[in-house]
């Protein structure tokens, strides 16, 4: 850290600014290792090392967790699939890295950003909230990184992110692109069609009683009652245990003292400085005289910002009022920390000497965390303790109840053990129980493996349920009189489908217009009509029919069934495209659609121009699992 102090306190003192978010590459390591060491090859001229392999595995594992949840385990994937995913991630990272390097995005500025990001990362703070360099180094070393390795990796990833963001912001639209989209979506069709109305056909069908009874007898499996089940249960939640939790003596008082210490140490101070560099003078005495002159002018009321502009020798911050951003203990010299510790907003320090330079500091902003009263903190922490302890007691009883049930205890025994009252359900089917109880309870009660009078203990989202199946009533065939209406409706659906299929076959065999006219006149549920200038999103025809229509060529003869049961015989006469005036009237409506289309096309361009043309020279033995 001494070399870092010297760098930061000299004439090249820089303003360190916020770093783009860096994935924590230490998490999610794949169990796949490699027996190869050193270079594993190259991608677009970027060397691929064993460390790159490990980082790619971790990044890919974390991406999959973000997609499928924290329970996802990368190591449970097939080993060859793991290797393929790691190889893909390596290619992605190295291709983007080479492009970022060619654009000059890899520079010292990214390294400085990486340094400050690491210092500000809460993962590397001690119990007092301060950056712990030893902790950072230990974590880095444990995972195969040196401190500089990780800082450089951070800078590289930030450069990659900048490059990716620049690509995502590169979407632009050309007028002719939007015009083509409008042409497609505003296209209109002229059609003649014959429609078989499914509902009218069903209304015309009359099933005899004999037909209904015959269908009922031949399809009895459709008309059984649901299986019915009744059960006993009781439930436990953490709220049942809250009055059993004991609060240790002085617990809240001790906690509040720790809270005050941590809160006060978290105060952030933004500050500026005036710097005089000793190396610019013949002697330290001359440099000291210069800074003393500046201090005297400050004491006489001169503006700090004006004196920065006139005298400060830090060329980086001189034009920014001397701004050094917020103080970080392990980034800035410890002499700065000593001076700032007791300073408040707008306070100016005395002269500070550091190695080869002199400084005067001014606090420009103080961010203090609002300190809560003892009553507020006490209430919060006691509530948290009670909640945590109540949950622990609940879990203890869950384990005890589960063990007792395995040993043959009845639900009455278990209820007595926890002093709970048993509730009894009526006989219910799957639908009625789902409406009254949690879906997970329904699944348990109607689980075929559940035995009568055998309690089951389950944890459903933090609530413990103990259930025991009381009775199972097997399904019985419903009498015809109770289901006659259902029988008739089912038979109508079947007969209507058969009739439509017959009508479709008959109509398609007709060639003369007179024959088609007679067909329409003889069937009251068949009609014909013509539409002119119908659009693809019209409400005059079902959307599934319109979709097929607009995928066809003029002159096509179409036979189309709709999802609502209707059937259409359509003649597509012609398409009409919008005029320039009509396009202008609707162009604004289609701009968002075209933006998404361009985004999809940008992905294609990236695949074609970046990844498909990447120069990949890898040791393929590593990426083949025998």
Confidence of residue 228 (pLDDT cuts 50, 70, 90): very high
Q: Which two tokens stand for residue 219?
A: 């399809």
Closest CA to 610 of 76, 98, 66: 98
Asked if residue 295 belongs to a domain, the reply is yes
Residues 213 and 238 in one domain: no
Q: What is the CATH number of the domain that holds 323?
A: 3.10.50.40
Residue-level pLDDT at 69: 78
Residue-level pLDDT at 285: 93
Residues 454 and 330 in one domain: no
Confidence of residue 19 (pLDDT cuts 50, 70, 90): very low
Residue 60 CA to residue 81 CA, distance in Å, equals 12
Contacts from 32-41 at CB under 8 Å and sequence distance 24+?
32/57, 32/79, 32/82, 32/83, 32/86, 34/622, 36/619, 36/621, 36/622, 40/618, 40/619, 40/622, 41/616, 41/617, 41/618, 41/619
Pick the range with the lowest mean pLDDT from 5-9, 225-229, 398-402, 445-449. Answer: 5-9
Given a cut of 70, is residue 5 above it in pLDDT? no
More confident of the two residues 451 and 259: 451
Tell me the mean pLDDT in the region 190-200: 97
Tell me the mean pLDDT in the region 412-416: 96
Q: With contact defined as beta carbons under 8 Å apart, do 392 and 405 qualify?
A: no
Residue-level pLDDT at 116: 75
Asked if residue 163 belongs to a domain, the reply is yes
Q: Which two tokens stand for residue 301?
A: 């009321």
Asked if residue 584 belongs to a domain, the reply is no
**Main-chain dihedrals φ then ψ at residue 173, nearest 5 degrees:** -115, 135
Q: 497, exposed or middle or buried, with CB in 10 Å at 0-12, 13-18, 19+?
A: middle
Given a cut of 50, is residue 10 above it in pLDDT? no
Q: Identify the H or E element spanning 113.
A: helix 108-120
CA distances from 454 to 402, 415, 451, 464, 531 (A): 12, 13, 6, 16, 68
Range of the domain at 415: 228-247+375-473
Residues 322 and 427 in one domain: no
pLDDT > 90: percent of the chain? 46
Residues 531 and 388 in one domain: no
Q: Which of 346, 367, 388 marks a domain boundary? A: 367
Q: 299, exposed or middle or buried, with CB in 10 Å at 0-12, 13-18, 19+?
A: exposed
Give the gyration radius of the chain's Cα atoms: 39
Q: Helices 147-168 and 108-120 sit at what angle, rounded to 10 degrees?
A: 110
Residue 418 CA to residue 406 CA, distance in Å, equals 17
Q: Which two tokens stand for residue 160?
A: 């990659």
Residue-level pLDDT at 586: 77
Given a cut of 80, is residue 346 above it in pLDDT? yes
Closest CA to 417 of 399, 391, 436, 435: 399
Q: Helices 580-606 and 175-185 sit at what angle, rounded to 10 degrees?
A: 110
Tell me the mean pLDDT in the region 59-69: 82
Look at strands 567-576 and 463-473 and give their pairing: unpaired
Residues 36 and 117 in one domain: yes
Q: Which two tokens stand for residue 164?
A: 């990716």
Given a cut of 70, is residue 610 above it in pLDDT? no
Closest CA to 468 of 493, 448, 450, 449: 450
Residue-level pLDDT at 18: 25
Q: With contact defined as beta carbons under 8 Å apart, do 319 and 369 qualify?
A: no
pLDDT > 70: percent of the chain? 84
Given a cut of 50, is residue 405 above it in pLDDT? yes
Confidence of residue 151 (pLDDT cuts 50, 70, 90): confident
Give the list of residues 6+ apart from residue 460 with CB closer than 8 angstroms, or none.
438, 440, 441
Report the range out of 109-113, 239-243, 323-327, 376-380 with the highest average pLDDT: 239-243
Q: 519, exposed or middle or buried, with CB in 10 Å at 0-12, 13-18, 19+?
A: middle
The Cβ-side half-sphere exposure at 193, using a 13 Å CA radius, reads 25
Note the pLDDT tens digit of each residue in 165-182: 666 554 445 566 677 777
Asked if residue 554 belongs to a domain, the reply is yes
What string of DSSP letters covers 63-84?
HHHHHH-TT--GGGS-HHHHHH
Given a cut of 80, is residue 356 above it in pLDDT? yes
Closest CA to 545 of 193, 310, 273: 193
Residue-level pLDDT at 261: 75
Confidence of residue 31 (pLDDT cuts 50, 70, 90): very low
More confident of the two residues 153 and 30: 153
Residues 469 and 485 in one domain: no
Given a cut of 60, is residue 4 above it in pLDDT? no
Residue-level pLDDT at 485: 96
Q: What is the CATH number of the domain that holds 13?
A: 1.10.4030
Tell me the mean pLDDT in the region 286-311: 94
Q: Which two tokens stand for residue 274?
A: 């005036």
Closest CA to 418 of 393, 402, 397, 404: 397
Looking at the 3D structure of the chain, how many domains does it have? 4
Asked if residue 132 belongs to a domain, the reply is yes
Residue-level pLDDT at 154: 80
Q: 251, exposed or middle or buried, with CB in 10 Å at 0-12, 13-18, 19+?
A: middle
List residues bridging with 459 in a β-sheet.
464
Residue 176 CA to residue 384 CA, distance in Å, equals 62
Angle, alpha carbons 490-492-493 (nearest 5°) = 65
User: What does pTM read for this prediction?
Assistant: 0.45
Residue 214 CA to residue 490 CA, distance in Å, equals 13
Asked if residue 518 belongs to a domain, the reply is yes
Residue-level pLDDT at 29: 41
Residue-level pLDDT at 32: 43
Give the list of residues 6+ apart from residue 237 with CB closer than 8 angstroms, or none.
394, 462, 463, 464
Residues 17 and 142 in one domain: yes
Asked if residue 252 belongs to a domain, the reply is no
Q: Which of 473, 504, 528 marks a domain boundary? A: 473
More confident of the two residues 522 and 615: 522
CA distances from 173 to 211, 276, 459, 590, 595 (A): 65, 53, 54, 11, 7
Residues 34 and 151 in one domain: yes
Closest CA to 124 of 333, 366, 336, 329: 329
Closest CA to 203 of 471, 537, 547, 565: 565
Q: Which of 473, 499, 533 marks a domain boundary? A: 473
Q: Which two tokens stand for residue 318?
A: 């001189």
Confidence of residue 575 (pLDDT cuts 50, 70, 90): very high
Residues 142 and 238 in one domain: no
CA 210 to chain centre: 60
Residue-level pLDDT at 51: 80
Given a cut of 90, is residue 573 above it in pLDDT? yes
Given a cut of 70, is residue 30 above it in pLDDT? no
The Cβ-side half-sphere exposure at 619, using a 13 Å CA radius, reads 15
Residues 239 and 274 in one domain: no
Asked if residue 181 belongs to a domain, the reply is no
Confidence of residue 594 (pLDDT cuts 50, 70, 90): very low
Given a cut of 90, is residue 160 above it in pLDDT? no
Given a cut of 50, is residue 196 above it in pLDDT? yes
Angle, alpha carbons 332-360-273 (nearest 5°) = 60
Residue-level pLDDT at 353: 93
Pick the range with the lowest mean pLDDT from 130-139, 148-157, 464-473. Answer: 130-139
Residues 242 and 362 in one domain: no
More confident of the two residues 467 and 68: 467
Q: 456, exposed or middle or buried, with CB in 10 Å at 0-12, 13-18, 19+?
A: buried
Mean pLDDT of the chain: 82
Residues 361 and 389 in one domain: no
Confidence of residue 469 (pLDDT cuts 50, 70, 90): very high
Given a cut of 90, is residue 219 above it in pLDDT? yes
* Alpha helix segments (H runs only) across 266-372: 284-299, 304-311, 334-340
Buried b (16+ CB within 10 A) or exposed e, 380-415: ebeeebbeebbeebbeebbeebbebbeeebebeebb
Residue-level pLDDT at 199: 96
Q: Which two tokens stand for residue 294?
A: 């500046």
Tell me the mean pLDDT in the region 444-467: 91
Tell me the mean pLDDT in the region 131-149: 75
Residue-level pLDDT at 618: 77
Tell me the mean pLDDT in the region 392-400: 94
Closest CA to 328 of 108, 22, 1, 24: 1
């Amino acid at each position: 850290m001494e070399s870092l102090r010297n760098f930061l306190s000299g004439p090249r003192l820089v303003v360190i600014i916020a770093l783009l978010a860096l994935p924590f590459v230490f998490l999610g390591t794949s169990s796949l290792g490699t027996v190869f060491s050193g270079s594993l090859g190259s991608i677009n001229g970027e060397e691929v090392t064993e460390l790159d392999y490990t980082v790619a595995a971790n990044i890919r594992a974390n991406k999959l967790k973000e997609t499928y949840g924290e329970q996802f385990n990368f190591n449970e994937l097939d080993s060859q699939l793991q290797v393929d995913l790691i190889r893909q991630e390596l290619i992605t990272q190295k291709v983007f890295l080479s492009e970022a390097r060619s654009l000059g995005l890899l520079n010292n500025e990214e390294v400085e950003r990486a340094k400050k990001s690491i210092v500000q990362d809460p993962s590397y703070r001690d119990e007092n909230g301060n950056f712990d360099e030893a902790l950072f180094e230990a974590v880095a070393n444990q995972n195969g990184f040196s401190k500089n390795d990780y800082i450089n990796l951070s800078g590289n990833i930030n450069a990659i992110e900048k490059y990716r963001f620049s690509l995502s912001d590169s979407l632009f639209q050309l007028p002719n692109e939007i015009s083509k989209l409008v042409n497609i979506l505003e296209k209109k069709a002229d059609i003649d069609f014959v429609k078989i109305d499914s509902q009218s056909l069903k209304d015309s069908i009359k099933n005899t009683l004999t037909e209904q009874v015959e269908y009922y007898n031949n399809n009895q499996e459709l008309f059984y009652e649901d299986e019915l089940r009744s059960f006993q249960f009781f439930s436990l939640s953490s709220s049942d245990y809250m009055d059993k939790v004991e609060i240790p003596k002085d617990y809240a008082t001790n906690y509040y003292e720790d809270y005050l210490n941590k809160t006060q140490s978290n105060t952030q101070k933004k500050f500026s400085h005036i710097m005089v560099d000793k190396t610019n003078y013949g002697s330290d005495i001359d440099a000291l005289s210069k800074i003393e002159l500046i201090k005297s002018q400050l004491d006489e009321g001169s503006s700090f910002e004006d004196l920065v502009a006139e005298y400060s020798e830090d060329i980086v911050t001189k034009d920014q009022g001397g701004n050094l951003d917020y103080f970080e203990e392990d980034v800035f010299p410890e002499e700065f920390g000593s001076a700032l510790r007791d300073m408040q907003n707008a306070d100016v320090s005395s002269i500070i000497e550091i190695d080869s330079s002199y400084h005067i500091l001014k606090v420009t902003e103080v961010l203090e965390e609002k300190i809560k009263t003892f009553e507020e903190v006490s209430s919060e922490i006691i509530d948290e303790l009670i909640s945590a302890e109540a949950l622990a007691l609940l879990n203890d009883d869950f384990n005890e109840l589960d063990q007792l049930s395995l040993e043959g205890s009845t639900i009455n025994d278990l209820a007595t053990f926890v002093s709970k009252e048993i509730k009894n359900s009526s006989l219910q089917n799957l639908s009625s129980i789902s409406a009254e109880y949690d879906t997970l309870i329904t699944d348990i009660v109607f689980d075929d493996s559940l035995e009568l009078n055998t309690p089951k203990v389950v944890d459903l989202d933090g609530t413990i349920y103990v259930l025991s199946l009381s009775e199972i009533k097997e399904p019985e065939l419903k009498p015809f009189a109770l289901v006659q209406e259902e029988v008739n409706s089912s038979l109508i659906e079947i007969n209507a489908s058969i009739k439509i299929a017959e009508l479709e076959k008959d109509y398609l065999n007709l060639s003369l217009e007179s024959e088609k006219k007679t067909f329409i006149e003889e069937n009251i549920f068949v009609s014909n009509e013509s539409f002119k200038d119908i659009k693809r999103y019209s409400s005059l025809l079902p959307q599934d029919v319109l979709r097929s229509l607009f995928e066809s060529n003029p002159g096509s003869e179409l036979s189309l069934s709709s999802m609502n049961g209707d059937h259409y015989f359509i003649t597509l006469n012609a398409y009409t495209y919008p005029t320039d005036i009509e396009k202008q009237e609707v162009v604004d409506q289609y701009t968002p659609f075209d933006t998404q289309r361009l985004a999809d096309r940008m992905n294609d361009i990236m695949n074609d121009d970046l990844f498909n043309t990447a120069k990949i020279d890898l040791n393929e033995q590593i990426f083949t699992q025998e």
